[in-house]
Amino acid sequence: MIFNTSTAEPNDDIGILAALNSLPREVLGTTFGVGPSAFAKVPTTLKPVVITKRS
């Protein structure tokens, strides 16, 4: 799930990439009804992202 709010994320928020990478590709494929190769392009390296707000 993705929420577009202007509030800060809590420090314990693992994010979508960390959540996807915590499960084997076979489990993801079974869950979403696709082959494990459908998740081959999901990045495995997590890089911090800074989102700023312009006024």
Instruction: Give the model's pLDDT for residue 3.
Output: 56
| Cα–Cα dist 33/28, whole Å | 8
10 to 2, 14, 28: CA distances (angstroms): 14, 9, 25
Task: Specify the pTM.
Answer: 0.58
CA-nearest of 5, 17, 10, 24 to 42 is: 17
Give pLDDT tens digits for 1-55.
Answer: 455 566 666 665 667 888 888 899 999 999 999 999 999 999 888 777 777 887 7
Question: Domain locations in the chain?
Answer: 1-55
